[in-house]
Each structure stands twice: as C-alpha cells, then as structure tokens.
C-alpha cells in the first residue's frame, strides 16, 4: 500500500507540473483570456445585430411620431378650412403610416444625419441654412437641421436676424421651399415684406400650384404684377453666390465632424470665415 501510495503521489505530482507548464504556455500565447470567449467575427456580428435592432426601434419611433404630427397638421388644416367656410376638395387622404417604409435607413457612422434629396441626387448629411444681407453678402443668421424640409427654417432665421443685429429685416425673399400659409402669416405679423416664390419654375409666380391658400394666392398675384421687376429676382444675386463661394472658392464640400451639435458648430465656423473674408475685403 505504501508503495502504491508513492506511485500515485508521483503520478499526481507529474500531472500538476504538466498542468502548470501548460498554463504558463497558454498565458504566453493568450494572455489573461479565459479561452471560452467568442471569436471576433461572432462578436462583431452580434454587435452589428444589436445596432440594427436599435436603429430599427428608432425608425419605428420616428415613423410613429411623424404620423402623429401629420394627423395634427391635418386636423389643424381642417379646422382652418371650416373657419374660412371653404369647401372640401378631393377625397379624404388615407391615414399616415405608423410603420417605417421598407427602404428606410439609418446611418451607423452618424445616426443623427439623414438622407436628403438635392438637385444632384441623394446625400447623407444635414440641411444648412443662411440668411444673407443684400448689400455686402454678409451672413446675418444661420442654422442647421437634419430635416429635408425648408419650411420650418424660415421664421427661426428671420428671428435670428433680429437677435444678431438688434433689428428685423425690412424685406425677405426665399424660394418655393419656404413658401407656406404659416410662413407668410408669420412674416406679415413681424411686418417683414415677403417675396416668396409660390412654385418651382423659371418665373417665381409660375409653376404647378402645389401650395394653396389665400396668402399664397396673394403672393402669387404680387409676384405676377411685378413681373421682371420683382424684388424676388435679387435672391439669385444675394444668397446663391454665397453658397457658391463657400463650396467652390473655399472648397467646402462636406462636413468633417459627426453629430448634429458638432456639425452646427462647424457650420457656424464656416459662416464666420465667410464673413471675415467679406469684411476684410471691404476694409
């Protein structure tokens, strides 16, 4: 028994030494990892799946919020129609979808950016805005949003001019993307002379009349009466050159930062650099 005990003790000792040697060798090769971790390709796919599920949930929440906002807009328009005594035109539209479109996307590099339609096609980015002085092409107000619509940006720009300069502008001109009953009413309330195109065409008063309402019709008549003498024509000499100078002369084609707050700061710096250039040349 003593002989067998010594043999077993020696065998166990060899096993323990072999195990220690194997542990030391594995630590050299794998460090402190346990050895049961998932392979990198599995972990990466799992992380991507989690991001996809998160993006899907955000798209669903956005679609639901957009549908609720559209219903509120329709209810408000219906109340306004009844108050004005106008007849109801056309069929009742189908209720807005609360589910995202099958082709809806979310950018993982910058989730706060959006797919925007431009004259050159679709881009992933932000919608930069600028209000420009007609005399010296100085940017007097600026903003940035991830919404493709320009309609909600006009009034904040007008109010931004007053905040920056201490006085409101006498007149304001903008293309058809900014034209709406609400914007025309807001400009009239602020006593700002409005020159907003009512359609996308060669002449601002022409084009298919997708935008309707008494204020829009009055603006359409105002632009038609002025003809080629309309002050709206000045917009192409004021705003368009500024964006051309920023893109062509200074080579600014895309934002370098990510996240809407950082991109807002980047756009503010671009506008400031433009103003410094204009002021330096005028000095």
Domain with residue 240: its CATH number is: 3.30.420
Asked if residue 72 is part of any domain, the answer here is no
Q: What is the pLDDT of residue 5?
A: 55
Residue 95 in any domain: the answer is: no
How many structural domains compose the chain?
A: 1
> Would residue 58 count as lying in a domain?
no
Average pLDDT, the chain: 82
**Rounded distance, CA 77 to CA 56, Å?**
31
* pLDDT reported for residue 229: 67
Q: Band of the pLDDT at 1, cuts 50, 70, 90?
A: very low
pLDDT at 9 over 80: no
- Structural domain including 153 reads 115-282
pTM (2 decimals)? 0.67
- Is there a domain that residue 36 lies in? no
Residue 22 lies in a domain: no
Spell out the SS3 assignment of the chain. CHHHHHHHHHHHHHHHHHHHHHHHHHHHHHCCCCCCCCCHHHHHHHHHHHHHHHHHHHHHHHHHHHHHHHHHHHHHHHHHHHHHCCCCCCCCCCCCCCCCCCCCCCCCCCCCCEEEEECCEEEEECEEEEEECCCCCCEEEEEEECCCCCHHHHHHHHHHHHHHHCCCCCEEEECHHHCCHHHHHHHHHCCCEEEECCCCCCCCCCCCCCCCCHHHHHHHHHHHHHHHHCHHHHHHHHHHHHHHHHHHHCCCCCCCCCCHHHHHHHHHHHHHHHHHHHHHHHC
The rounded Cα 142 to chain-centroid distance in angstroms is 14
Looking at residue 208, its pLDDT comes to 53
């Amino acid at each position: 028994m003593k002989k067998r005990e010594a043999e077993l003790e020696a065998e166990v000792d060899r096993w323990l030494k072999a195990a220690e040697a194997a542990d030391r060798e594995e630590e050299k090769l794998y460090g402190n990892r346990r050895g049961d971790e998932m392979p990198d390709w599995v972990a990466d796919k799992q992380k991507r799946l989690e991001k996809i599920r998160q993006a899907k949930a955000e798209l669903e929440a956005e679609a639901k919020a957009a549908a609720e906002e559209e219903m509120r807009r329709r209810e408000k328009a219906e109340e306004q129609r009844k108050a004005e005594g106008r007849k109801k035109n056309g069929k009742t539209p189908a209720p807005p979808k609360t589910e995202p479109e099958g082709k809806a996307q979310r950018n993982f590099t910058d989730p706060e950016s959006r797919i925007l339609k431009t004259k050159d096609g679709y881009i992933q980015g932000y919608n930069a805005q600028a209000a420009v002085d007609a005399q010296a092409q100085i940017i007097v107000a600026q903003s940035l949003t991830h919404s493709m619509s320009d309609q909600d940006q006009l009034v904040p720009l007008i109010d931004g001019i007053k905040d920056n300069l201490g006085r409101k502008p006498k007149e304001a001109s903008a293309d058809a993307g900014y034209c709406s009953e609400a914007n025309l009413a807001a400009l009239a309330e602020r006593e700002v002379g409005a020159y907003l195109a009512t359609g996308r065409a060669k002449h601002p008063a022409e084009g298919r009349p997708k935008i309707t309402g008494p204020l829009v019709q009055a603006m359409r008549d105002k632009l038609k009466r002025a003809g080629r003498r309309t002050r709206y024509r000045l917009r192409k000499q004021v705003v368009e050159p500024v964006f051309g100078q920023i893109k062509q002369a200074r080579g600014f084609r895309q934002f370098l930062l990510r996240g809407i707050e950082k991109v807002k700061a980047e756009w503010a710096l671009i506008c400031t650099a433009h103003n410094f250039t204009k002021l330096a040349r005028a000095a």
